[in-house]
Amino acid sequence: MTRFNSVVLDVDSTLSGVEGIDWLASLRGAEVEAWSNSLTARAMDGLIPIEAVYRERMSLVKPTLFEIQALSAVYIDRVAVGAREALAELRENDVELVMVSGGLREAILPLAKELGVGEERVHAVSVFFGRDGEYTGFDERSLMTRQNGKRATVKEMDLKGPVLAVGDGMTDCDIRPVVDGFAAFTGFMKRDPVVERADYVIENFDQLRALVLE
Ligand SMILES: [Mg+2]
């Protein structure tokens, strides 16, 4: 018996200590990085809706395939301490794991593979490239670029309950009405409005393992 049968995991600043789009923005210089950081922080604190900033950031950052591959390596480098072990144990206990991210899918897939989460369980925003790896756009229809997109996506998945959602941001917290519990993850970022609305507060993956299994 486990306390939760499915766990919905955020990626940026939860499974890995990086905000992918901000990292890509940092390649465009300090000014673009600072601008992107402030938009991300305000969106994750719930001060501005995510759809207001997504297109704007991508049209300025325009990541190439090569840069997305470099970001994939960063995601793996900065994986949360204990996440590999905790997720392996959850899988052994037949807990279903899904990754739901407002980040870029192609950058996240290698991390998912590393953590044993199948591609079909990774919900994020696809990015498109031309023949030479140049940026041509992102999936603007993706629900994940919208404020309630994570909630709508999780609802559609019809996961085996009880379901726990885990993340550091307001878009994760917004999943709460369609799941059985929300855990604020504070291992990388502690956002007070998210912590205040959470059912649980965890700062590492050992605590997640205990919350789900014990
Ligand atoms: Mg996050």
Give one DSSP letter per residue of 41-105, joined into a string: HHHHTTSS-THHHHHHHHHHH---HHHHHHHHHHHHHTBPTTHHHHHHHHHHTT-EEEEEEEEEH
Quote the CA–CA distance of 139 and 104 in Å, as a whole number. Answer: 10
Encode the chain (214 residues) as per-residue pLDDT tens digits.
789 999 999 999 999 999 999 999 999 999 999 999 998 888 888 888 888 788 888 988 999 999 999 999 999 999 999 999 999 999 999 999 999 999 999 999 999 999 999 999 999 999 999 999 999 999 999 999 888 899 999 999 999 999 999 999 999 999 999 999 999 999 999 999 999 999 999 999 999 999 999 8
At a CB cut-off of 8 Å and minimum separation 6, what does 156 contact? none
**143 C-alpha to center of ligand 1: Å?**
16
**168 C-alpha to center of ligand 1: Å?**
5
Q: Which residues have C-beta under 5 Å from ligand 1, the single-atom ion?
A: 10, 12-13, 168-169
Counted residue by residue, the chain has a size of 214
Q: Are 137 and 161 in contact (CB under 8 A)?
A: no
According to CATH, the superfamily of the domain at 6-213 is: HAD superfamily/HAD-like (3.40.50.1000)
**149 C-alpha to center of ligand 1: Å?**
14
- Known active-site residue 12: yes
**12 C-alpha to center of ligand 1: Å?**
4
- Predicted confidence at residue 199, as pLDDT, reads 98
- Known active-site residue 10: yes
Catalytic residue among 10, 22, 168, 172: 10
- Predicted confidence at residue 148, as pLDDT, reads 86
For CA atoms 203, 79, 77, 29, the dihedral sign is negative
Q: Are 1 and 63 in contact (CB under 8 A)?
A: no
Please name every residue paired with 138 in a beta bridge, in sequence order, or none if there are none.
Answer: 127
Give the DSSP H/E element, type plus range, for residue 141: none
Catalytic residue among 12, 22, 168, 174: 12
Q: Which two tokens stand for residue 141?
A: 């229809």
- Predicted confidence at residue 44, as pLDDT, reads 82
Q: Are 107 and 66 in contact (CB under 8 A)?
A: no
Global pTM reads 0.94
- Predicted confidence at residue 55, as pLDDT, reads 86
The dihedral formed by the CA atoms of 45, 46, 49 and 50, expressed in degrees to the nearest 10: 40
Q: Are 73 and 16 in contact (CB under 8 A)?
A: no
- Predicted confidence at residue 68, as pLDDT, reads 98
**10 C-alpha to center of ligand 1: Å?**
6
Q: Which two tokens stand for residue 181?
A: 């519990």
Give the DSSP H/E element, type plus range, for residue 38: helix 30-44
Give me the residue spans of the domains in the chain: 6-213
Quote the CA–CA distance of 211 and 7 in Å, as a whole number. Answer: 11
**23 C-alpha to center of ligand 1: Å?**
13
**70 C-alpha to center of ligand 1: Å?**
19
- Predicted confidence at residue 53, as pLDDT, reads 83
